[in-house]
Amino acid sequence: MKEALEDMVYQFGYHVVVNNTPAISTGGLSALESAFDALGWDDPHLIDEKGNTCEVVGCMESIVSGVKWGDIYLCLCHNHSMMAYDNQERPPIKDYAIIREQMRDKATGFINDNID
């Protein structure tokens, strides 16, 4: 139940940036305010940068697609997805995405996180 509510809030809440940290806000919508109350969340509620924001260094926009850019797969915002599709030079990528891509098996495309 709590997970369902969190999923809904992640999907319908307003994605904002507070002091350089990604967050979700109710935007003053009463249905979201009720959901935040039920979850015991402050408004805005801070969320992890990893998994919730574009993987280009310094970009806090929401992820809209997974795109191959050069030799690696990245989760990117709209603007950076367009740059990738356009084959523009890739800007610096966040460390956690680089580390993940180093674990990707080149043959299968799967992430190999069983490190011997």
User: Can you read off the two tokens belonging to residue 31?
Assistant: 């249905």
Residue 102: CB minimum distance to Zn ion, A: 21
Applying CB under 5 A, the residues found at the interface with Zn ion are 54, 56, 59, 61, 77, 80
40: tokens are 């015991």
Report the nearest approach of Zn ion to the CB of residue 11 (Å): 19
Contact between residue 41 and residue 2 where contact means Cβ atoms under 8 Å apart: no
DSSP 11-47: HHSEEEEETTEEEEE-TT-HHHHHHHHHHT--SSEE-
Q: Is the Cβ of residue 43 or residue 61 nearer to Zn ion in the bound state?
A: 61
Which lies closer to Zn ion via its Cβ, residue 9 or residue 54?
A: 54
Whose Cβ is closer to Zn ion: residue 32's or residue 75's?
Answer: 75
CB closest to Zn ion, residue no: 54
